[in-house]
A and B are shown apart, each in its own frame.
Chain A
Amino acid sequence: MIEINPLVILFAAMLTNNMLLSNFLGMCSFIVISKDVPTALGLGQAVTFVMTCTTVINFLLYYYVLVPLELEYIRYIVFIITIAAFVQLVEMFIKKYFKGLYSSLGIFLPLITVNCAILGASLFMIIRQYGLIQSLLFGLGSGIGWTMALVILSSINIKLEKAPIPKHLKGAGMTFIITGIMALAFMGFSGLVSI
């Protein structure tokens, strides 16, 4: 385990090492969903929750089950099953007890399973050798950072609808250019914290 203040990891994951803007993870849903702010916020919350919980579960599974059994190489399968099962569980739970939340979030929940940011968070946690608290805050920070980027982009997209953009650049092309500019802007945080 490495010795880094967990709070530093939280802020680094949110700002300087943003999952989306510096690691390109979670792009697929990012491009599709970034049309209106409330939806973006809803998806962001769901992703943050699932990401935080699955990093912790995967941490425990990896260090207390896979490492003692010397089965590190099957971690990909284990992680993806954990994520899929957890998403399924959350979906069932929300459906039963929070009807309102389910109808607003429902369609996004199954999508989260194939969100690469979530698997990415678990894999980064292993590669960077975080401890339990560090992993928890890393998952939380990554989720918040991803949500932030998504909400900012969807607000920009609303403004863009009326902007004069070259005809062929409209849609995905423009989204990438805007994301590039956002990535440049987020580089301004780079002196703040570093890991």
Chain B
Amino acid sequence: MNHLIKSMRNNIWDDNPILRKILGICPALAVTNLVENAIVMSLGVLFVMSLSELTVSIVKKFSDKHLRILIQMLIISWYVIIVDILIKLTVPEISKSLGPYVGLIITNCLIMGRCEAYAQFNKPLHAFFDGIISGISFGIILVLIASIREILGFGTFLEIQVLNSNWSTIGLFTIPAGAFFVIGIFIWLHNISEEKMRGDIND
């Protein structure tokens, strides 16, 4: 249990997939114009990542080493198809606005990275939890970026008006360029706080 908490903290903050390793950036930027898109995307990634890691970890004994990348890719695509169908069934409007980005979960380097670096060498249950933790740490940043962009860009949060009409909304945050700025500043702040923390430990 202790091990789990430690790896969770490590994953969510110290080694955050988006802010630290700069993995899985494409969806992080593309779907963060609205919070609801970001939430659906995070859940999709969480689902695909945990189950793919579980499956990769189970089949690792039977699969050939040279073919493992291909097998991992097939496993991931298989789960992405399920997610795509699920999203289309439950929230059809969001599925339309997510467009091709659901399919692009396949090439999300984060999922491949975790399968290759963790699930390949660990027990199925550990791999499954690793997938959940990585998915959560990915989702937190996604939803944070989306909140900033939606509140400042549209004045709403989950389509509920939060800024009153005296506030002028900033169009910059609704367009792609805004996403680049927000994530750039996030990485900046993360680096600063990271150094502060490390300094505290050294003192």
User: Residues of A with Cβ closer than 8 Å to B?
Assistant: 21-28, 31, 73-77, 80-81, 84, 114-116, 119-120, 123-124, 127, 166, 168-169, 172-177, 179-181, 183-184, 187
The answer to whether B25 and A24 have CB atoms under 8 Å apart is yes
Residues of A within 8 A of B43 (CB): none
Q: Mark B81-100, 1 if CB is under 8 A from A, else 0.
A: 10011000000000000011
Q: Mark B174-187, 1 if CB is under 8 A from A, else 0.
A: 01111111011101
User: Residues of B with Cβ closer than 8 Å to A?
Assistant: 22-27, 29-30, 70, 73-74, 77-78, 80-81, 84-85, 99-100, 103-104, 106-109, 112, 175-181, 183-185, 187-188, 191-192, 195
Residues of B within 8 A of A180 (CB): 177-181, 184
Q: Distance (Å) between the CB of A55 and the closest chain B CB?
A: 13
Total residue contacts A-B, CB cutoff 8 A: 114
Q: A24-B25, A25-B26, A28-B109 are in contact. Are A76 and B103 (CB under 8 A)?
A: yes
Q: Distance (Å) between the CB of B21 and the closest chain A CB?
A: 10
Q: A76-B80, A76-B84, A168-B191 are in contact. Are A176 and B106 (CB under 8 A)?
A: no
Residues of B within 8 A of A84 (CB): 70, 73
Residues of A within 8 A of B175 (CB): 183, 187
The answer to whether A173 and B187 have CB atoms under 8 Å apart is yes
The answer to whether B22 and A168 have CB atoms under 8 Å apart is no
Residues of B within 8 A of A173 (CB): 184-185, 187-188, 191
Chain A: CB-nearest residue to B110: A28
Extra contacts, 9 of them, besides A27-B29, A127-B99, A168-B195 (Cβ < 8 A), are A24-B179, A28-B23, A76-B106, A77-B78, A123-B99, A168-B192, A176-B181, A176-B184, A184-B177
Residues of B within 8 A of A25 (CB): 26, 30, 104
The answer to whether B84 and A24 have CB atoms under 8 Å apart is no
Chain A: CB-nearest residue to B96: A127
The answer to whether A123 and B184 have CB atoms under 8 Å apart is no
Residues of B within 8 A of A166 (CB): 188
Q: A24-B30, A173-B187, A173-B188 are in contact. Are A76 and B77 (CB under 8 A)?
A: yes
CA distance A10 to B16 in the complex (A): 38
Q: Distance (Å) between the CB of B60 and the closest chain A CB?
A: 20
Q: Would you list 25 pairs from A and B whose C-beta atoms are within 8 A, ordered by A residue?
A: A21-B176, A23-B30, A23-B176, A24-B27, A25-B26, A25-B30, A26-B26, A27-B29, A28-B22, A28-B24, A76-B103, A77-B77, A116-B26, A116-B104, A119-B106, A123-B104, A124-B100, A173-B184, A173-B188, A175-B184, A176-B180, A180-B177, A180-B181, A180-B184, A183-B177
The answer to whether B187 and A172 have CB atoms under 8 Å apart is yes
Q: Distance (Å) between the CB of B98 and the closest chain A CB?
A: 11
Q: Distance (Å) between the CB of B160 and the closest chain A CB?
A: 26
CA distance A168 to B99 in the complex (A): 35
Q: A25-B104, A120-B104, A180-B177 are in contact. Are A114 and B112 (CB under 8 A)?
A: yes
The answer to whether B183 and A176 have CB atoms under 8 Å apart is yes
The answer to whether B104 and A119 have CB atoms under 8 Å apart is yes
Q: Distance (Å) between the CB of A153 and the closest chain B CB?
A: 11
Q: Distance (Å) between the CB of A2 and the closest chain B CB?
A: 16
The answer to whether B100 and A120 have CB atoms under 8 Å apart is yes
Q: Distance (Å) between the CB of A121 and the closest chain B CB?
A: 9
Of B80, B81, B177, most buried by chain A (CB within 10 Å of CB) is B177
Residues of A within 8 A of B74 (CB): 77, 81
Q: Distance (Å) between the CB of A133 and the closest chain B CB?
A: 21
Contact partner, A181, options B73, B108, B177, Cβ 8 Å = B177
The answer to whether B180 and A119 have CB atoms under 8 Å apart is no
